[in-house]
Chain A
Amino acid sequence: MISWEVFPPFALVAVLCWAIGTVAALRKEDGRSAVCVWTTAAGLAVYTAFIIGLWSALGRPPLRTLGETRLWYSFFMVFSGWLVYLQWNYRWLPLSSLVVALVFIVINVVRPDIHDRSLMPALQSAWFVPHVTVYMFSYSLFGCAFVLALAGLYRHTGQYLRSTDTLVRIGLAFLTFGMLSGCIWAKQAWGDYWSWDPKETWAAATWCAYLVYVHLRQRKTDGTAGRTAYVWLLIGFLLLQMCWYGVNFLPSAAESLHSY
């Protein structure tokens, strides 16, 4: 019978597989690393086995406690990263997915008390896991774009713009899905798709900042416009930090519907 007690060995095997895949992807300069594809798939299979086992042992979908939702975050972080790697072969992507997934896995290992802590009723929704997971995935992509923008500004070069274009395109698609799934969920839970709650307002600011970048890049110039584009990536990432956790430190957060 699978329970949380056997999570550490399952997680260890999966993380080892993903780490091997990450190293293989980083070492492969051109094209796709078959080692990365298969070891990541093997790690996902091990992780999936744990989820199915836990689901079966609990007799319900494991979606009700904090620990259970973090299980899904980590799974989908690696799974989304794997799918994007299959499509676009970005060698650094498995690393960024693994780092974020690892954060949630470590929390689940070192904080066993969260395994049984029930989610409040408003969070018990089929939208919860996809809403949060796609956000997390887009955050990891925007994090990479932020680092490249800093490097581009420091080195006075536009050579990273092609990479940041792709990162933002994929990140924005996931961020948009996160926002829209949040809208549909908000209608189900609170009665309206959008209510200008502080968290939503900062999410809109973040979304607009990355859309500014996309529209700036339509002109495809690498000089001053390239620098401006990099600056918008920095602004977008700072706004994202505000949306993610910074908003909690503002006075406006006291009335937020997103305070859990």
Chain B
Amino acid sequence: MYWLVSYLLVLVALQLLFGNVDARLAAFPVGLALGVAFTALLFVLEKEYGRQAWLVSLRSPRTAGLLLGGVAAGCVVAGSVPQASGLTTSWPFVGLLVALLANLALGVFHRLHTFRLRRDAAFLAVHLGIWLTLFGGMAGAGDKKEMRVLLVRGTEVDKAYDAGGHLVPLRYKLRLDAFEVERNPADGSPAQYTAALRIDGEPCRLAVNSPFAVAPGEDVYLMDYDRKSGDAEVAYCVLQIVRQPWKYVVLSGIVLLLAGMPLTLTAKRKGGCAG
């Protein structure tokens, strides 16, 4: 408990000194290098000192419970204030998530040492799934880019605006051929809308909930359109382009966790969590 309080005090000091954590600092290759180095360090620690009391304590369910309680408290605060206050990128909150990553990794490495399929399958699927999801989200945060394009019918665009309002070149050309709005018969509100695009001359269709994968880790989304057009032809649409190379790591964590959930229901309950 004392180490956690000391750790939190250090994080608060970092917050006061440097302000919020800037995800852009973790852009490739920094995020990847830090993530791999951190994981390798935990692997070595578990291998060399896995039986020592302090490390047993670090990977224990008790520590997991304390950290989860801390994250829950952080979420309560972050969920109560406007999102723009950036509490989820504060040093104390990010530090708690990093500590949770360490607790998860140590638990997973420990189980892998003494792996028995029937005993450990559920534990590993769930804990490794959460670890991959968190790791992919945090280490990859600096590599995620969101851009917007206002695409006027009939014109070709090969640049987009990033979050800072700067023009960023795209590796392809976008063109809006047609736009369909399906309206509710009752009140005339838009029920669904679809854009027929050409990306480097190749036709594709975009709709809400139906993005187009333009390259590995890069998707184009239909965000909005010329709503003032009424029954006339839609003049333009707004696209969102998301570059997120780490999305596959996050997705693999989600899939592993999904696979682990039924196993937790069927697994026999015995033994500790990670100790």
Contact = CB atoms under 8 A, between A and B. Distances in A.
Given A118-B189, A204-B75, A184 B254 contact: yes
B210 interface: yes
Interface stretch (A3-11, A90-98, A213-221): A213-221
B1 interface: no
Interface stretch (B32-40, B63-71, B171-179): B63-71
Interface stretch (A39-47, A66-74, A193-201): A193-201
Interface in B216-275: 219, 221, 240, 242, 244, 247, 250-251, 254, 257-258, 261-262, 264-265, 269, 272-273
A255 B82 contact: yes
B44 interface: no
Interface stretch (A24-32, A99-107, A169-177): A169-177
Given A177-B258, A189-B209, A255 B264 contact: no
Interface in A37-66: 64
B55 interface: no
A238 to B, nearest CB: 10
Interface stretch (B11-19, B152-160, B190-198): B190-198
Interface residues of B, number: 52
A208 B190 contact: no
Interface in B50-90: 61-62, 64-65, 68-69, 71-72, 75-76, 78-84, 88
Interface stretch (A13-21, A120-128, A151-159): A120-128
B208 interface: yes
B209 A121 contact: yes
Contacts of B82: 251-252, 254-255
Contacts of B62: 215, 219
Interface in A115-139: 116-118, 121-122, 124-125
A35 interface: no
B254 A183 contact: yes
B80 A218 contact: no
Interface of A: 64, 116-118, 121-122, 124-125, 165, 169-170, 172-173, 176-177, 180, 183-185, 187-194, 196-198, 201-202, 204-205, 208-209, 211-212, 215-216, 218-219, 235, 239, 242, 247, 250-252, 254-255
Interface of B: 61-62, 64-65, 68-69, 71-72, 75-76, 78-84, 88, 133, 137, 144, 146, 184, 186, 189-193, 207-211, 219, 221, 240, 242, 244, 247, 250-251, 254, 257-258, 261-262, 264-265, 269, 272-273
Given A208-B68, A211-B64, A254-B82, 8 more contacts: A116-B186, A118-B189, A176-B257, A176-B258, A188-B210, A204-B75, A205-B71, A205-B75
